[in-house]
Amino acid sequence: MFRYILRRFFLLIVTMLITSALIFALTQIIPGDVARLILGRDASEAQLQQLREEFGLNAPAPQQYANWLLGFVKGDWGRSFTGANHPVRPLVTERLGNSMRLALMTLLISVPLSVLLGVLAALYENTWIDSAISLLSLSVVGLPEFVTGLVLINGIALGARELGLPATSFVPRNDIGDWIRQLILPALTATFVLLGYVSRLTRAGVLDELKKTYVRTAILKGLPGRVVIFKHVLRNALLPTITVIAISFGWLIGGLVVIESVYNYPGLGALLVEAVKQKNLFLLQAIVMVVIFFYAVANLTADVLYALLNPRIRLE
């Protein structure tokens, strides 16, 4: 098991190295002179040259990449081109913390709900319950995120003001009540995106396991149905679902651009949009690296959990 984890960790490092090179290469082909974009059309050539020297933009591309990657590993992610020339790392880590709060709230809602609906759909296969769950899950997946968000805002935040849910979400304080109040609506919007995928995958996995011999044997031995389902069937049925949930966590960290815009939530996705608009290279590079890192760690976590739940993976 240790060798398996070590092998996957090595692949994570290789993935990050390749990704960093691609990120740097893509940011280098952004059209326009970055120095000119920062200082404006009226800047003199001396001012432009000074700025290029300050940010190392005059160095050859391989040297710029090496300096950037070494600095990133050490925690120096560069300085923002815009605003008050702030260091990039505090800006990114602050927004990352906000996005992780929203991602955690979304997973706490979406995973139990999706698994429960998937199990119910499998147990009542080809009944009205199965049809209703399938219709619900596929319908909410088909809705664009901004439509779902606007419906929730107008139907709950504005339509039921007595609930006290804000139409604009702020970073919650460290108490459960404020977490629920500030994050419930954007978390529900993200949950609708995940609901169809996770519930349908769970349904397919449970149906496949229910047809196997060990389930019939357990039932004939007199084990209660809930024990068979939750202790034996789900352990095997959720193996593919784990991968989807893990990858979804990476998407929740940096992919909630539309949801964060609808609720005006200060997350990492919103900061990414700002960096692209401003062509803020160091900020853009740092955000994408952080998002890719979380995707890679999420995949590593999924692989490790997969191996823990499936002994055949460890043996192979």
Domain shared by 157 and 253, yes or no: yes
Check which CATH number belongs to the domain holding 190 and give it. 1.10.3720.10
Domain termination site, one of 75, 103, 118 = 75
Do 114 and 237 have their domain in common?
yes
What pLDDT sits at residue 13? 86
Whether residues 151 and 253 fall in one domain: yes
Q: Write down the pLDDT at residue 278.
A: 76
Per the domain annotation, does 34 fall within a domain? Answer: yes
- 65 and 186 housed in the same domain: no
Domain hosting residue 47, numbered range: 2-75
Q: Tell me: do 112 and 180 sit in the same domain.
A: yes
Domain boundary among 13, 40, 75: 75
Give the residue ranges of the chain where pLDDT is below 50. Answer: none
- 86 assigned to some structural domain: no
Looking at the structure, tell me whether residues 169 and 286 fall in a common domain.
Answer: yes
Whether the Cβ atoms of residue 181 and residue 210 lie closer than 8 Å to each other = no
Residues 272 and 227 in one domain: yes
191 and 308 co-located in one domain: yes
pTM, two decimals, is 0.81
Residue 193's pLDDT is what?
A: 85
pLDDT of residue 162: 58
pLDDT of residue 30: 66
Amino acid 250: pLDDT: 78
pLDDT the model gives residue 212: 81
Q: In this predicted structure, what is the pLDDT of residue 166?
A: 67
Per-residue pLDDT at 249: 81
pLDDT per residue as tens digits for the range 113-138: 988 998 898 888 888 888 898 888 88
Residue that finishes a domain, picked among 24, 41, 75: 75
